[in-house]
Amino acid sequence: MLLQVKNVALSLKREGKYTKILDDVSFQVEKGETVGIVGESGCGKSLTALSIMRLLPEKAKLEGSILLDDENVTEFSKRRLEKVRGNQMSMIFQDPLTSLNPLHTVGRQIEEALILHTDSNKAERKRRVIQLLKEVGLPRAEDLVNEYPHQLSGGMRQRIMIAIAMACHPKLLICDEPTTALDVTVQAQILDLMNHLKQINDMGIIMITHDLGVVAEVCDKVIVMYAGKVVEQANVKELFLNPKHPYTKGLLESIPKLGKRKEKLGSISGMVPSPDQMPSGCRFYDRCSKKMDICKQEIPPVQEVGEDHITACWLFKKEVEEDDTSRSKGFETTLHH
Amino acid sequence: MDALRYIIKRLLLMFPILFGITVLTFFISNTIPGDPARLAAGPHADAKVIEELRETMGLNKPLYVQYGTYMNNLVHGDFGFSNFSHQPVIEDIKAYFPATLELTLFSMFITILIGIPFGVISANKKDKIADQFTRVMSLMGVAMPAFWLGILLLLFFYLQLGILPGSGRLDTGLSPPVTITGMYTLDALLSGNWTVFQSAIIHLILPAITQAAVTIGMITRMTRSSMLEVLKSDYVRTAYAKGGTDTRVLYGHALRNGMMPILTLLGMTFGHSLGGSVLVESVFSWPGLGKYAVNAITYLDFPAVMAVTMLIAILFITVNLIIDILYQVIDPRLNYD
């Protein structure tokens, strides 16, 4: 197993007190697998990614465990983290323009990862930088090395970000909305490139997005998050064909479909509750079309609803009783923290 | 080539500015009450002598004629004759200005060496002890009047401990090095005179620290606030995601991006100090431009006042130009325009 995220909880300090942003988040990523994390903005997708990279604000409290190749990232020292970041795991961000240093040349920014993690000399590094630029499909690599981010297009900039991330052959690549800031035509190219690189390098990818189209295109497995919790997890086909959680269903209904005449696009009414006013029961309660009394009082347990398909919803209570072990296990670990 | 054209254009723009300055200074200094001839002749001179002096100084002619004569001389490189030092003003400037330049360069050196790292550290350790420490230090530096700090330093290091000299540019008994630049430290180095070099350096310490105290405080605060802004940016996060160490991210990525306001302030204080700091020069009997200018004003020595004003203007414009060029060296997005 490449990455195991187990019962991760994250609290951030806001106005003097800690508020829990992520609660009991667990999932796994295998080698060569792309795992999508979807959800509305503010659901904790990006913070999940930043928790794995340990790029959190200083006053963040991270609980649970994140095992990268069976080593617990949450226990890494600062120095150890510096060795792992950009080397064993890398990250690509949403806006490639602001994510690249405007004052350094593209070549220098890619080379930096090599300086930090390899013993190569200048000539070797230069060769590798040009090779990387070619790998990410950029033309005239030799000239590009000396250019600055502002001289490139959005798609090119994101390719540069990918080149930086790929420089040291990471095992895990985390992509935080990598195509959101790009033109639609460029989006597909970038996704193709990432699929291609994944196959060559046999790495695991975490794809954070709010775009279910992206999920359908590149992911093997999908995690649906809502208000800091995982509400459903399944392989991509299963999730699209057989969604269980009312929130997932709502998300899927909000995608426009070709050839289907519909009066109105589905939408989920209401808003995500704010982290310091989380309901005691199901967090989706207020917005759920199928709410029951129990939903308001008790947190829905995580339960299996199919092969490799889990969800946290009281609607599937019967199945819970049959398979009680997984549920209580999850609960115990959270209570310990 | 663009750069050269830009510099030439900026230098040409200097002339209208300087012309404006001559007009202002000339008419203001000639319309303030006081009789230069009376002062030049001394307290016991009789009316006839004063009248003769007035005639030779050209003070009886209409103001615009006087201005015309002055400008004519100026264009031919003649800054006029000082009636108090009894030599051409340009000779006075040559004698006094290098002392000020030397002191300014030293205090700026100290400022940059201490102020910028202090600012970076306090931004990185925001609200922690290091930040509080630099905050107190810079407030003290800014709040303490230069003459007061100068006197305190003198009392302690000169009178009490007797380890540093209290006045002048060299130990008595030492003769100044061969004049090349007029800056004793540099001239001594160039002529290989080690004893004079050492003496010149230790004479610089107290005045330079006194002068730097205020600027260190300002630069520290400016660096801090600029860095706090930059540290929030996405490319700083990218640099950490690559595995960058604190030092690398702070000085390699963030500082350069936060350098603009720091440079602006450095330029302003540099230009300002070059005009001579009267207080510091008085406390340490430093024979610099500030003291010379104050004397010139007190004795209504118009040619000297004009020359000092022109010199300060030229220096300010030059420093500004250098800063503008530096902006463009730092930020490739700015174009020579």
Boundaries of every domain in chain B: 89-330
Q: Distance between CA atoms of A212 and A225, rounded to whole angstroms?
A: 13
B245–A82: do the CB atoms touch at under 8 Å? yes
Q: How does the average pLDDT of chain A come out, rounded?
A: 87
- The CATH fold assigned to A3-336 is Rossmann fold (3.40.50)
Q: Tell me, what's the pLDDT at B108?
A: 95
Q: What sign results for the dihedral spanned by CA atoms B223, B229, B231, B236?
A: negative
Least confident window among A32-36, A297-301, B128-132, B207-211: A297-301
Mean pLDDT, consecutive 10-residue stretches, chain B (337 aa), reads: 83 89 86 76 79 80 86 85 85 91 94 96 93 93 89 92 87 82 87 89 93 93 95 94 94 94 93 84 90 86 87 89 90 78
Q: Distance between CA atoms of B319 and B322, rounded to whole angstroms?
A: 5
- A90 interaction partners in chain B (CB closer than 8 Å): 241-242
A186-208 pLDDT tens trace: 888 899 998 898 988 889 999 99
Quick one: closest CA in B to A147, which residue? B332
Q: Is B237 on the interface with A (CB under 8 A)?
A: yes
Q: Which helix (H) or strand (E) holds A207?
A: strand A204-209
Q: Which residues of chain A have a Cβ shorter than 8 Å from any chain B Cβ?
A: 53, 55, 81-87, 90-91, 93, 95, 98-104, 112-113, 116-117, 148, 150, 161, 164
CA-closest candidate to residue B242, choices A151, A162, A149, A48: A162
- B229 interaction partners in chain A (CB closer than 8 Å): none
Domain ranges of chain A: 3-336
Report CA dihedral (B32, B37, B39, B40) to the nearest 10 degrees: 130
**Can you tell me which residue has the tokens 């500004």?**
B320
Pairing of strands A61-68, A302-306: unpaired
How far is the alpha carbon of B322 from chain A, nearest alpha carbon, in Å?
19
Best mutation target among B125, B231, B235, B326 (most A Cβ atoms within 10 Å) is: B235
**Can you tell me which residue has the tokens 């600029």?**
B226
- B50-58 contacts, C-beta under 8 A, 24 or more apart: B57/B83
Number of C-beta neighbours around residue A194 at 10 A = 25
Classify residue A315 by its DSSP letter. Answer: G
Q: Tell me, what's the pLDDT at B235?
A: 95
Q: Distance between CA atoms of A285 and A274, rounded to whole angstroms?
A: 13
Is the ipTM of this structure higher than 0.90? no
A61-79 pLDDT tens trace: 999 999 999 999 999 999 9
Q: Is B238 on the interface with A (CB under 8 A)?
A: yes
Q: Distance between CA atoms of B267 and A77, rounded to whole angstroms?
A: 41
Classify residue B248 by its DSSP letter. Answer: I
B234–A93: do the CB atoms touch at under 8 Å? yes
CB nearest to A53's CB, from B241, B253, B331: B241
Q: Tell me, what's the pLDDT at B337?
A: 59
Over 50: is that where the pLDDT of A326 sits?
A: no
The separation between the first and the last C-alpha atoms of chain A, rounded to the nearest angstrom, is 24
Q: How confident is the model at residue A325 (pLDDT cuts 50, 70, 90)?
A: very low
- A93 interaction partners in chain B (CB closer than 8 Å): 234, 237-238, 241
Between chain A and chain B, how many beta carbons pairs sit less than 8 Å apart?
69
* Residue B236 near residue B219 (C-beta atoms within 8 A): no
Q: Which segments within B12-118 are labelled E, that is strand?
A: 81-82, 87-88
Percent of chain A with pLDDT over 90: 54
* Residue B92 near residue B182 (C-beta atoms within 8 A): no
Over 80: is that where the pLDDT of A23 sits?
A: yes
How far is the alpha carbon of B4 from chain A, nearest alpha carbon, in Å?
22
Whole-angstrom CA distances from A288 to A44, A70, A252, A312 are 19, 38, 14, 13
Which positions ≥6 away from B175 have C-beta within 8 Å? none
- B333 interaction partners in chain A (CB closer than 8 Å): 102, 148, 150
Q: Is A15 left (phi over 0), alpha (psi -120 to 50) or beta?
A: left
Report CA dihedral (A164, A170, A174, A179) to the nearest 10 degrees: 40
Q: At what angle do helices B194-231 and B259-274 cross, to 10 degrees?
A: 140
Q: Is B335 on the interface with A (CB under 8 A)?
A: no
- The CATH fold assigned to B89-330 is MetI-like fold (1.10.3720)
For the segment A226-237, the average pLDDT, to the nearest whole number, is 92
Q: Tell me, what's the pLDDT at B151?
A: 92
Q: Tell me, what's the pLDDT at A332?
A: 41
Q: Tell me, what's the pLDDT at B1?
A: 63
Quick one: closest CA in A to B238, which residue? A99
A100–B242: do the CB atoms touch at under 8 Å? no
CA-closest candidate to residue A126, choices A98, A143, A145, A113: A145
Q: Tell me, what's the pLDDT at B200?
A: 92
Q: Is B235 on the interface with A (CB under 8 A)?
A: yes
Whole-angstrom CA distances from A70 to A117, A166, A203, B34, B120 are 21, 22, 16, 88, 37
* Residue B59 near residue B36 (C-beta atoms within 8 A): yes
**Which alpha helices (H) appear in A202-235, and where do they start and end?**
212-218
B244–A116: do the CB atoms touch at under 8 Å? yes
How far is the alpha carbon of B6 from chain A, nearest alpha carbon, in Å?
21
DSSP letters for A86-148: TTTEEEE-S-HHHHS-TTS-HHHHHHHHHHHH----HHHHHHHHHHHHHHTT-SSHHHHTT--
Which positions ≥6 away from B294 have C-beta within 8 Å? B278
Quick one: closest CA in B to A52, which residue? B241
Which positions ≥6 away from B284 have C-beta within 8 Å? B150, B154, B166, B167, B168, B206, B207, B210
Q: How confident is the model at residue A160 (pLDDT cuts 50, 70, 90)?
A: very high
Q: Distance between CA atoms of A236 and A199, rounded to whole angstroms?
A: 18
Percent of chain A with pLDDT over 70: 93
Number of C-beta neighbours around residue B159 at 10 A = 9
Q: At what angle do helices A106-117 and A154-166 cross, to 10 degrees?
A: 10
Over 50: is that where the pLDDT of A39 sits?
A: yes
